[in-house]
Chain A
Amino acid sequence: MEATGTEPQVSERVRVQKERLLRMKPTVCTERARIYTEVYRRSADQPLVVTRALALAETLRGMSIYIDEGELIVGNQASAPRAAPIFPEYAVGWILDELDEFAQRPGDAFYPSEEAKAELREICPWWQGRTLFEKGTALLPPLMREIHDAAIIRAEGNLTSGDGHIAANFPQILSGGISGYRERVEDYRGNLDLSDWEDLKKEQFYRAVEIALRGLSAFIRRYENLARRMGTTEKDPVRKAELERIAMNCGVIAEGPPQDFSQALQLVYFVQLVLQIESNGHSVSLGRMDQYLYPFYARDIDAGRLREEHARELLECTWLKLFSINKIRSWSHTRFSAGSPLYQNVTIGGQTRNREDAVNPLTLVILASVGTLRLPQPNLSVRYHSGVSDSFMAECIRVIQRGFGMPAFKNDEIVVPALIALGVEQDDAFDYSAIGCIEVAVPGKWGYRCTGMSFLNLMRVLLAALNNGFDSMSGKTFCPGIGRLEDFESFAEVMKSWEKQVKFYTRATVAVDTAVDTALEENVPDVLCSALVDDCIARGKTLKEGGAKYDFISGLQVGIANLGNALSAIRKLVFEEARIGKGELMEALAGNFEGPGGERIRQLLLNHAPKYGNDDDYVDLLLRDAYRVFIDELSRYHNTRYGRGPIGGTYYAGTSSISANVP
Chain B
Amino acid sequence: MTPDAILFWILAVVTVVSAITVVLITNPIYSALALAMAMIGISALFVTLNAYFIAGVQLIVYAGAVMVLFVMVLMLFDLRHELQAFTRGKISGAVKIACVGMLAGLVVGAIYMSSSSLIHASAAETMSSVDATKQLGKLLFTQYLFGFEALGVLLLVVAVGCVALARSKGGTHEHH
Q: Is B truly associated with A?
A: no
Chain A residues within 8 Å of B, Cβ to Cβ = none
